[in-house]
Structure 1
């Protein structure tokens, strides 16, 4: 789970400042305020990690990518190639990372031992000094933390003139193997130690484990965009288990069918239900339908149809024959409950096409997601440890979360909310201070529009209108 994030010189952000992440992290703001850029940046890093090109420092995306950010010139702040994109993040590890290595001392040799349950990462990327058409990783380093205290710092820094890299470690550098101290080649992508680091140092295999831990972090990211695919009357499933519902929800029905062995519970002492039944129940709780079915049209064909019974309707109908909001929120629900244990789910506008009461109910669903448990084939049980990163415009969604915090259904520490403020000379990402009673202490001006201004203006206009009408009546009577 991500704990902290900071991005500098990326798109409209000169500096987001340190973002404190929580199990449920929300980003609000006006259109084109930069809030979407945060999720896009994380997805670009995921694309880079999964790119087959180990030498590509960043992969901004292609035709079939989650995000397509163009060139470095398009991404860097103010399109100034002198700027470097810098980023920091910290995440918790599912198990303790530990190891040891020998290092030289004035009296001979000693052993450095380390252990930690969190990793922090920093990197700087810009145009190479020797060739402004080439992108280069200026430096990167990892910090292994135990209770927020650094136990080990390792990284690499580029020598701009020689275009080679130097390996650094603190508080002690691993003892080198015998031989000439050759400089190192370029790192792997934006985060990885090359094989030479292990070859040139004794017992330095732990740096490759750092590479692996980093890759696991970004493999856990899932993304669902704001525009979901239209529903079909028939769905074909080959029997393959999809990694996620897809960027536009195109694999939602396949995910439901593939999860027949999985059961979900909404938390402690709550019953477990199959994933399909969980989805149906959440749609019903949101006031959208009465029932939901996914059925094969024939035993000999791998084609399926989705049937729903809308509220107040006597019969089941095909998914395309009901309101668009149902088909748009379905991928949201499936992604939330289908994602593997430990997933980080990034979603843009999950509330799109939903009426206000359904938007409020969606907030309750998200609370259930971060509290949920899972088991397979009726055996065992484990916390799903899902983290949700949501960009939203919904006042109703936030108001329901505030209420649930006041009611004690979710703790204030489980929610982190930010507002992208573009009313200043320099865009800022302002943390919303939510207290234990659900109150927002620093509510931004006109956060969701000028509601009180509209009410006052309506009342004043009504008074003036009645005054004119009464005056007109008096003139007629005279």
Structure 2
């Protein structure tokens, strides 16, 4: 789990800023204030950590296969000023096992007991684990690329760092090398993919090299388990051809969400000794699975459907997603956008590894206020039962208000939530943490965060009184 995110001179964030992150973190604010770019360093570092080039400082995209394209280093620097230094800091507590990231072939599947009332019994244990800190600073090269100026970890109470001292060499600073001895400098100490020390630097640390190696591996695992769902989801299709394998990820638009549903229904049953044909049962030959039941349950809670079915379309190997509403059954492509837009969120929440991090942009899109409110219940239940961390950029007052209610009900505690408001003064973005007590009350409420419902009611009443007075005067 990520506990802190610091950034300096990244896009709209001129200067140094720091955000605390919790199991549920909401980022609120008006359009174009800088909300999206606040969380993008996680995606940039994830892409860099997965880069095939171990000498890559920052993988900004632009190459075939890249998931995100950030442009050049000049594009991501505040004010596009190449003289600025870009810097990131991540606090994290290891919660994800090696190789279990959503982009590491974790596959799909939902554990038993993760439904209603799953509660703290399935909660990922974080107590007793020490927080580690990763820091890195970058400069721009003449061709618009990036170079690591310094990088390192603070872990187990000690700090280990490499710093660029010439165009070719890095100095290594660490407790085993302290005591007034000259810094150890070598061109072989250049960090790998920003987050890892080179084998030569680890060897120079002696026995403590294992401490840094373990910290870098833990950070890599946490980054690999960041699942991102953007603000625009895939347009609903009328049929879906079964690809024969579980998707490694759902995609930034949720384009592989239905494939994940099919995989859980067709492959998980086969792994348990049943054939794919045996997984198809019931009236209308609809597929059944625990994941599909979880998704259907949340559609009911949100009030957008009574269930979801996967129906084979003849012998073609294709399946239709059918939305059930009362006695009516309709193809997903023939109903309102709400179901198709929330479907990837529901699937993703239950297929990511336990302890993973989900980054959501505008989960409320195309949803009725009642369904937007229920999103808060989803975040709380999945966070508590599966240890999943949610970092959510949202405009939804309904989601926020329901989270306040859940705090008042003690369904979740204040230290499990972080609420941030982003503003922009024309010069750059600024971060304003909201202080929330155990009853969900917010102190120092920022102006113009949401619509002024009370003010609108007062204006309506005031004009009603004025107009009635005028009508009586004319009579």
Q: TM-score, normalised by structure 1?
A: 0.82
Displacement of 1:427 in angstroms is: 2.9
Q: Does 1:92 align with 2:103?
A: no
Residues 182/453 of structure 1: CA separation in 2 closer, same or farther (3 Å cut) = closer
Residues 274/79 of structure 1: CA separation in 2 closer, same or farther (3 Å cut) = same
Q: For residue 411 of structure 1, what is the aligned residue in structure 2?
A: 413
Name the count of aligned residue pairs. 420
Higher normalized contact order (CA 8 Å, seq sep 6+, divided by chain length): 2
CA contact (8 A) 1:43 1:66 kept: no
Structure 1, 163-172 or 214-223: larger mean CA deviation: 163-172
Residues 201/457 of structure 1: CA separation in 2 closer, same or farther (3 Å cut) = closer
Written as runs of structure 1 = structure 2, the 5 A alignment for 1:142-221 is 142-145=153-156, 150=157, 152-160=158-166, 162-170=167-175, 172=177, 182-200=186-204, 202-203=206-207, 205-206=209-210, 207-221=212-226
Displacement of 1:167 in angstroms is: 1.2
- Distance in 1, matches of 2:197 and 2:353, equals 28
Q: For residue 341 of structure 1, what is the aligned residue in structure 2?
A: 354
Displacement of 1:197 in angstroms is: 1.8
CA contact (8 A) 2:362 2:392 kept: yes
Q: For residue 343 of structure 2, what is the aligned residue in structure 1?
A: 330
Residues 200/29 of structure 1: CA separation in 2 closer, same or farther (3 Å cut) = same
Displacement of 1:458 in angstroms is: 2.1
Written as runs of structure 1 = structure 2, the 5 A alignment for 1:447-466 is 447-466=449-468
Q: TM-score, normalised by structure 2?
A: 0.82
Which deviations, in whole Å up to 9, do the C-alpha atoms of 1:433-473 show, x marking residues without a partner? Answer: 11011101121112102333322222222222223222222
> CA RMSD for the aligned pairs?
2.6
Displacement of 1:237 in angstroms is: 2.0
- Distance in 1, matches of 2:91 and 2:401, equals 29
Written as runs of structure 1 = structure 2, the 5 A alignment for 1:80-119 is 80-94=81-95, 117-119=130-132
Written as runs of structure 1 = structure 2, the 5 A alignment for 1:8-407 is 8-15=8-15, 17-62=17-62, 65-94=66-95, 117-128=130-141, 131=142, 133-145=144-156, 150=157, 152-160=158-166, 162-170=167-175, 172=177, 182-200=186-204, 202-203=206-207, 205-206=209-210, 207-260=212-265, 261=268, 274-298=290-314, 300-310=315-325, 313-372=326-385, 384-407=386-409
- Distance in 2, matches of 1:54 and 1:413, equals 37
SS at match of 1:31: coil
- Distance in 1, matches of 2:381 and 2:399, equals 14
Displacement of 1:201 in angstroms is: 5.1
CA contact (8 A) 1:6 1:15 kept: no
SS at match of 2:200: helix
- Distance in 1, matches of 2:373 and 2:145, equals 48
CA contact (8 A) 1:349 1:392 kept: yes
Residues 302/327 of structure 1: CA separation in 2 closer, same or farther (3 Å cut) = same
Displacement of 1:4 in angstroms is: 1.0
